[in-house]
Structure 1
Amino acid sequence: MKLEWLVSSMLLTCSMVTLGTNPTRSEEISTKEFQKQTPDSTTTSSSQQGSLSSRVQSVKSTAEIWQIPKIQRPIPNAQILVQTPTPTTPAQKIVQVTAVKANPTNKGVEVILQTSLGEQLQITNRSAVNSFIVDIPNAQLRLPSGEAFIFRSDKPIAGITGITVINFDANTIRVTVTGEAGVPTVELFDSPNEGLIFSVASAAASSQPSAQPQTQPNQSTSETQPTQPSASSDEPIELVVTGEQDGYRVGDSSTPTKTDTPLRDIPQSIQVIPRQLIKEQRITRISDALRNVSGIQEPAATTRNVFDVPIIRGFTPNSDAILRNGLRERTSSRIPSETANLERIEVLKGPASVLYGQGSLGGTVNLVTKQPLSSPYYSVEASVGSFDFYRSTLDLSGPLTSDKTLLYRLNAAVETSGSFVDFLERQRYFVSPVLTWQIDRNTKISFESEYLATQQPDDSGLPARGTVLSNPNGKIPRNRNIGEPFDVSESGNNRNVLRVGYNFEHRFNEDWQVRNAFQASLSNYPNNRIYILPTSLSDDGRLLSRTVRTFPAGGYDNTYSLDNYVVGKFKTGSIQHQIVAGFDLFREAAGGQQINRSIAPLDLFNPVYTQTLGGIIGDPSDDETTSDSLGFYLQDQIALFNNLKLLLGGRFDIVNQTYKDFIDSSNNDFQQNEAFSPRVGIVYQPIPAISLYASYSRSFQQVIGTTFDNSLFQPEKGTQYEVGIKTDLSDKVSATLAFYNLTRSNVLTDDPDPDHSGYSIQTGEQKSQGIELNIGGEVLPGLSIIGGYAYTDASVTKDTDTELVDNILNNVPKHAFTLWTTYKIAQGDLQGLGFGLGLYYVGDRQGDLANTFELPSYLRTDAAVFYERNKFRVALNIRNLFDIDYYASAQRDLAVYLGEPLTLQGTVSWEF
């Protein structure tokens, strides 16, 4: 059976299934369900740690209460100083908390963790500043469908600033209650009918005189007279139970392992751009979001094109650096992306080939989209900014049926803008509907689609002479465009992409589940697309020779991705395993007609536009490249001990590539490649707050396309070694320090032959080694930061051109750091007012692989001021606050890209 026949058959089957839309990773539930009745409960004491099972009694109308002391300070021994959950043994079963509810009481509010196994839970508690913190080991927040969620309540009662319930790690639930003036009082109840109940009162309320005596002579000081929470108000307390990560600190990610594993347990560096950051920075491009990730640099042409493929750890990916909900798709300047429907962006540093197949050695970016909500949610937003920037977005969600088994979400965006570059105008139209059907409590399917239509001419930058290098005629104005106005008015350079797919999940039991997902990405650019390329600069530095690349019949780039895998948990003796086993299929077909034409040179200092096209240069082309891949993978996450974890994985790929020349069939070509990609990692946690890790992995990537003489490229291979340390500086702040060494062979680089402009060749070998430091979270109440530093030493180690050996890879700075911080006033007359400040430093970089010129370092400053009250938000974002001239990137000596000048963007949004 031929591989291409197998791929075609299975992908065709999935295409027939896909009628609407795609995947779901987390579910958000906004609820106001607050029952006012008081459950019969048996109360327990848990001053430091106690087993609830030892205190469960027959339910009576009134029960004894054992109160957690009004924060009794623990003895400062080594264990308490660490302040971590009680270690668990692999043999202990994880208790699933399936829901969180809240009821107002005459004292404050009670928070109910619903589970039928409450008697198995143990707790530890402590205080920190104004927070009361309870850790519940051997427990996880999981919806009946198996998805993880978090609980959040902001200002539920007077004196309490917030209550959160989260999965602190893979084995622990953490409950945090924060008071305004002091540590709150928390009473613990165990209800056989409902689960675990926390009765919360503010420090001020608990200090008021009580009509009931607090102790009896024959009772210990930790006991009180029997009481019961009771409702005292008819006003509901608005709560949010959400799968959305709150703040900048993200506890887990599914991208590295295809399981919801805490980041601290993964032997690889991961960074997550949460929705909050996307909103605060008013991000509308993927490349703008990735600026916040250490070790990532802007690709060439990002500032003025739609190119979203980033440079990660020194290496520029060919095409497969970006996933969408864990499914591969080709990403290039012909396939733009939108942020309106993004929930978060997850960045996995280093290879991800074991789980996702062919991919970049430097890293992988996973775009996680918004999913339907079970309660009505509506949001509208409008922005206006510099250079005639106008943008409006819409976000709607909620149930379609009364039983909430059918949910929807609809995101839409419209954008028009100019640019600081002459006659470089953009238009974008985007819509993305999602439909989720909860078939039963264990089975769910989501359909997702999106359509993006863009109109934006390509921009080829400016020559190095006159920008970063001296030119006898002076500096070239940074608004200069070497293209032509008809590039916009006649061709429009439209790019359209339609994505459709589905995600199916079924849980057999608490330990085993299966997932099946499919996505088709259909991208095309219509007839008459025009792209003007610079070919040479005159000796006097004034006249720029150009070539016009035209696509008279348009072109296309279509991908189809199918992934099937099972996730299971089991034990071998005392050792806990979590395996992922599956296979995936991927197809890409790209092609189109191309004709190169001549055009008159352009005077860079006195341009005359509207030049007519000249004759045809060279031979026209009309071709198609198709790639089919089949991969089998297996991964095992092994908990040897509670603090020692091993990750083993392997993958076998079969990849076919076919090249068809529709003009001269003698150029047709075919090749097949096979590869095995291993992955090994280990994590050791001397104390729960610190993870030491080491890993080894390999990558494999078939390179799509041909050289100038129509020869197919050989597969690219890579190897990574990485060691590092991850730490939770607090329950709201985490940091990672990583050291890595990468080796990459068969790398694509620009063809240095001026007659082969726009084509690539493969050089020998490149290496990158470096250090990365990342930090993110809420360092002080209201003050949040996300930032990182990267040292990158990337160079050519082998090449057919010996003059390139030891050269530094272009666009890769030795030193770079990024920092974004916000402060939000939480109380008083200015409550809701916030400020943001961003610093982005990029060191000196080489402008081309030959190292003939250098891009100077720069420090860009961004700022923001915003006001948010009652779900109404107004914001002003300022990029390049001090209006510095800087160079974002370069492709070669004729293509240097300048960064945008001072740019303002005002936004008004309303959620209801």
Structure 2
Amino acid sequence: MKPWLLSGNFNLRLVIVLSGCLSIIAVQPGWAEKKSNRQDIETRYITSPTAKQADNAQIPQLSEVKLPATSAQMLVQAPTPTNLPATPAEVIPISGVKANPTPQGVEVILETTQGDKLQVANRSAGNNFIADITGGQLRLSNGDAFTFRSEKPLAGITEITVTNVDANTVRVTVVGEKALPTVELFDDNAGLVFAVASTETATQPPQTPPAEEKPVTETPQEKPAAQQDDPIELVVTGEQDGYRVPNASTATRTDTPLRDIPQSIQVIPQQVIKDQQATRLTDVLKNAPGVVVGDRSPRDPLNIFRIRGFAASFDTLLNGVQDRSIGNVGFGSNIDRVEILKGPASVLFGQGGLGGRVNLVTKQPLSDPFYSVEASAGSYNSYSGAIDLSGPLNDSKTVLYRLNASAGTNESFIDFYEQQQYLIAPTLTFQISDRTKLTLEASYSLVEGPFDFGIPARGSILPNPNGKIPRNRFVSEPNLNDTSNGVFRVGYNFEHRFSDNWQARSVFQTSLFRLRRDLVAPLGLRNDLRTLNRVVEDFDYDENFYNLDNYVVGKFATGSIKHELVAGFNLSRTNTYIKSLLNSTTPLDVFNPVYGTARAATTPDTDSRNTAQQLGFYLQDQITLAENLKVLLGGRFDIANQEAKDLFEQTNDFRQTEAFSPRVGIVYQPIKPISLYASYSNSFNQAVSTFSAALPEPERGTQYEIGVKADLTDRLAATLAFYDLTRTNLSTTDPNNPQRTIQVGEQRSRGIEFDISGEILPGWNIIAGYAYTDAEITRDNTLTVGNQLNNVPRHAVNLWTTYEIQSGSLKGLGFGLGAFYYGDRQADLANTAVLPSYIRTDAAIYYKRDNYRAAINIKNLFNVDYFVSAQNLNRIIPGEPLTIQGTISWQF
């Protein structure tokens, strides 16, 4: 009798459906809640922008901050600058910004139901009125941060902006054209209201703000004024403006500032992806120190990469929920940003690798119409197009949609290489009530084209008496190299807020992945070092992944100590089917290839089915002991099993394991811009059966990390991290029986990572980093202890910076420049060959005007020859030479 998780009539899919239904039924009464009636407007605070305020101060820069007291008593007290209002107990979300014309000018409304809890301090600088709102954050209902900008909203006013200064402050800036604006502040049931008057005395009606604020970094120029009776709403969206993202919910499943999380986390926002015209996940990840391309070609649809030395391609998340298929096909035009969580994350997400996780966040529906069209063309007959459509489906804007679709084709410097990509991704959001929301999301991705095997080490990174193998050599067959990677994803995200402090969420996601491959694959060179043995392969791989996650998030206090609790359970199931047929075929002379080999008959090689299930219960508490001292405690208990059937060998095996994964972290902030942190966490990961003996036990991982995070300015942040990772329970050869494996292997990675991102000066953005990674084998019966892990450089540097002209006739013209350095890397675990170090330089020039954007991106500007990765000594992957890509987009 098998253990309960697979016994009897237990049906995991039925449990998933029932659990999702129960989650919805449990909160159904909230659907009928009525919104409270609007209260009368009352004046709460009116200020003269010209008066000097003794109790107002800017957030200090690091050079201006005095060292704090270091007594034992002061170490646990929040530093309280004099003459500043006390920091609120919690961050108040501001869910939207509206602008309505008035006879005197325009009213800017910051939508929040808790405006009376916010502290407002104003000052003036030249013609600028500046109001800092302490205790608030601009954040949409789905958790996305946003910015608001309107150019020339009325006569005499150049610009009005509303932005997040840091994780606890919102800044409203009104720029006068010739004089300081007059601004009054009122408290309304809808939120905080800033009444802005024109600085001009003309009697003509003020200009009306633009009809819509699209998700772009600039607002269109003046438009004809509308009638004053017609209120005009400036719509804000979740598009991230800039290179710095102060918050991320994935790491803790709470809306916590990054500086309060005891873990190294990096976010690559939409602006970076757009500026670099990154079309592959590995292109995006090059901006994260400690993340490198894995043992496959980046030209393939497979997204293979390593984090902190360890493989992480299938430890991926989609909108915060585990989705293994991203390692196969995962990046498209529907992705808004990419989040990288360094180190284990088993507490919230279950089993996974040790190095870290990558989370892809998709674009969500917008409340007002938005349409975008993009087309690009480039080197090697590269052409692509994409559309992005969004808006409401009813007048009340309670049903929203978003549709992303794209198609493209490209060739390569590799001979006979041509690839096609297709994507369609619809999303629907139903705002059932002001507290309940349901989002349905689906996508289908398909990539077709040849498989890139690279070239042998002999003749590329190792000497060959026959000479150098051309980097563009195709070692397969032009008419026998067909690969199709397709994945269909569908799921829901149900959210309900019981109160301002408690909410529940139910998320279900399934991905159905199909890989079909019919090709000729290379093996190894013969003794003449020019004849390459090859095999014909017919390969089918199906993987169906189902995942349900239900959890609650709650805020409460025990005396003066504040808590933010996350508790839930997770069910997942993976069904895998593999079938392959092989046969040897005609070899190839890599120095003088003759193609045209006929397809040989194949014989069965593999026929297996694998089922893996996991049930996990988790609990996490973010504890605020003082405003500058925070503790994170978490734990997860998992029951996981795996059943493997080899239909070819007629074998069957089953194993069930239990695992507890703890997580402990602490953050101390001696001064507001600085966070010192330390953490400890564990992970476990079920190994896939190799049928060498019984199913292996799960791998285990342990990480220790310390670091410092700094808000250098209100738009520039940096992180420095030191880590020590140990991976144990690895399979290695049994010295008493070479036909079997035993689990005594161990690998370790130690390193330093530094990253910085944000805006240095107006218009000047940067994202950069450095990683030192010492990843080695520390215990093994086959490989040499002390060998470096393959494809992992000891030193790596990434730098990308852009500057956009802010004013004058050339306003909107921007330039980008990047340099990416990777040190020497081992081509295999035996350390028999080295991939040499290289520096690749990229550049860009772009121009934005109104709703149009045109860009030219150049990759590998100096046409450097380099090798990006290696699968083994027979498959060394060359990097791409100089390529140019032109892109034009239009938003309307």
| 2:518 aligned residue | 530
Whether contact under 8 Å (1:375, 1:398) holds in the other structure is yes
| 2:534 aligned residue | 546
Cα offset, 1:156, TM superposition:
4.0
> Percent same amino acid among aligned pairs?
52
Q: Within 2, Cα distance between the matches of 1:839 and 1:456?
A: 30
Residue 272 of structure 1 pairs with residue 261 of structure 2: no
Residue 174 of structure 1 pairs with residue 174 of structure 2: no
Q: Deviations over 1:219-252 (max 9, x none)?
A: xxxxxxxxxxxx9978987734222321110010
| 1:66 aligned residue | 47
The runs of 5 or more residues in structure 1 that have no matched partner are: 23-38, 45-64, 211-230
Correspondent of 2:626 among 641, 661, 665: 641
What SS does structure 2 have at the residue aligned with 1:838? strand
Q: Within 2, Cα distance between the matches of 1:798 and 1:41?
A: 71
| 1:736 aligned residue | 719
Change (3 A) 1:193 1:588: closer
Q: Within 2, Cα distance between the matches of 1:7 and 1:680?
A: 39
Amino acid at match of 2:811: Q
**Within 5 Å, which residues of 2 pair with 1:644-793?**
644-665=629-650, 667-707=651-691, 709=692, 711-747=694-730, 764-793=745-774
Correspondent of 1:806 among 786, 793, 809: 786
Amino acid at match of 1:891: Q
Whether contact under 8 Å (1:102, 1:110) holds in the other structure is yes
Q: Deviations over 1:127-166 (max 9, x none)?
A: 68986543333444466x5746534114244776654434
Q: Within 2, Cα distance between the matches of 1:91 and 1:831?
A: 40
What SS does structure 1 have at the residue aligned with 2:295? coil
What SS does structure 1 have at the residue aligned with 2:271? helix
Q: Within 2, Cα distance between the matches of 1:569 and 1:473?
A: 70
Q: Within 1, Cα distance between the matches of 2:874 and 2:526?
A: 12
Change (3 A) 1:852 1:7: farther
Correspondent of 1:833 among 773, 796, 813: 813
Change (3 A) 1:282 1:242: same
Q: Within 2, Cα distance between the matches of 1:875 and 1:85?
A: 47
Whether contact under 8 Å (2:138, 2:170) holds in the other structure is no
Q: Within 2, Cα distance between the matches of 1:586 and 1:500?
A: 15
Cα offset, 1:118, TM superposition:
3.7
Q: Deviations over 1:812-855 (max 9, x none)?
A: 11111111111112221112211111111111111111111111
| 2:238 aligned residue | 243
**Within 5 Å, which residues of 2 pair with 1:115-130?**
115=112, 117-125=114-122
Q: Within 2, Cα distance between the matches of 1:460 and 1:905?
A: 25
Q: Within 1, Cα distance between the matches of 2:668 and 2:757?
A: 22
| 2:28 aligned residue | none
Amino acid at match of 2:379: S
Change (3 A) 1:108 1:854: farther
Q: Within 1, Cα distance between the matches of 2:186 and 2:814?
A: 40
Q: Within 2, Cα distance between the matches of 1:344 and 1:805?
A: 39
Answer with 81-90 or 282-291: which moved more.
81-90
Whether contact under 8 Å (1:399, 1:408) holds in the other structure is yes
Q: Deviations over 1:187-225 (max 9, x none)?
A: 3423355543334579xx49x999xxxxxxxxxxxxxxx
| 2:98 aligned residue | 101
Cα offset, 1:115, TM superposition:
4.2
Change (3 A) 1:522 1:232: closer
Change (3 A) 1:412 1:868: same
Answer with 294-303 or 722-731: which moved more.
294-303
Answer with 148-157 or 675-684: which moved more.
148-157
Q: Deviations over 1:541-581 (max 9, x none)?
A: 21111223322xx3311111110100011111111100000
Correspondent of 2:183 among 187, 191, 213: 187
Q: How large is the Cα RMSD of the aligned pairs?
A: 3.4
Residue 851 of structure 1 pairs with residue 831 of structure 2: yes
Q: Within 2, Cα distance between the matches of 1:40 and 1:558?
A: 55
Cα offset, 1:594, TM superposition:
1.1
Q: Within 2, Cα distance between the matches of 1:682 and 1:895?
A: 44
Amino acid at match of 2:132: D
Residue 865 of structure 1 pairs with residue 845 of structure 2: yes
**Within 5 Å, which residues of 2 pair with 1:440-479?**
440-479=433-472
What SS does structure 2 have at the residue aligned with 1:745? strand
Correspondent of 1:324 among 308, 318, 336: 318
Whether contact under 8 Å (1:878, 1:905) holds in the other structure is yes
Q: Within 1, Cα distance between the matches of 2:185 and 2:8?
A: 58
Change (3 A) 1:570 1:297: same
The runs of 5 or more residues in structure 2 that have no matched partner are: 25-39, 67-78, 204-225
What SS does structure 1 have at the residue aligned with 2:670? strand
**What TM-score results when the alignment is normalised by the length of structure 1?**
0.85
Amino acid at match of 1:586: S
Amino acid at match of 2:97: V
What SS does structure 2 have at the residue aligned with 1:320? coil
What SS does structure 2 have at the residue aligned with 1:486? coil
**Within 5 Å, which residues of 2 pair with 1:454-603?**
454-488=447-481, 492-526=482-516, 529-551=517-539, 554-603=540-589
What SS does structure 2 have at the residue aligned with 1:307? coil
Change (3 A) 1:762 1:466: farther
Q: Within 1, Cα distance between the matches of 2:499 and 2:858?
A: 51
Q: Within 2, Cα distance between the matches of 1:696 and 1:268?
A: 9
Amino acid at match of 1:102: A
Q: Within 2, Cα distance between the matches of 1:503 and 1:343?
A: 17
**Within 5 Å, which residues of 2 pair with 1:35-114?**
42=43, 44=45, 65-69=46-50, 81=64, 92=89, 95=92, 97-104=94-101, 109-114=106-111
Whether contact under 8 Å (1:85, 1:124) holds in the other structure is no
What SS does structure 1 have at the residue aligned with 2:394? coil
Cα offset, 1:79, TM superposition:
7.3
Correspondent of 1:405 among 398, 407, 420: 398
What SS does structure 1 have at the residue aligned with 2:660? strand
Change (3 A) 1:321 1:116: closer
Whether contact under 8 Å (2:365, 2:428) holds in the other structure is yes
What SS does structure 1 have at the residue aligned with 2:669? strand
Change (3 A) 1:154 1:291: farther
Change (3 A) 1:10 1:626: closer
Q: Within 1, Cα distance between the matches of 2:186 and 2:798?
A: 47
Amino acid at match of 2:579: Q
Change (3 A) 1:168 1:881: same
**What TM-score results when the alignment is normalised by the length of structure 2?**
0.87
Correspondent of 1:135 among 132, 136, 143: 132
Answer with 462-471 or 5-14: which moved more.
5-14
Q: Within 1, Cα distance between the matches of 2:762 and 2:420?
A: 40
Q: Deviations over 1:95-123 (max 9, x none)?
A: 55454222346776442224454444322
Correspondent of 1:297 among 278, 292, 310: 292
| 1:621 aligned residue | 606
Q: Deviations over 1:28-52 (max 9, x none)?
A: xxxxxxxxxxx965263xxxxxxxx
| 2:870 aligned residue | 890
What SS does structure 2 have at the residue aligned with 1:651? strand
Change (3 A) 1:390 1:70: farther
Q: Within 1, Cα distance between the matches of 2:288 and 2:424?
A: 28
Q: Within 2, Cα distance between the matches of 1:386 and 1:621?
A: 40
Amino acid at match of 1:675: A
Q: Within 1, Cα distance between the matches of 2:430 and 2:551?
A: 20
Q: Within 1, Cα distance between the matches of 2:125 and 2:822?
A: 38
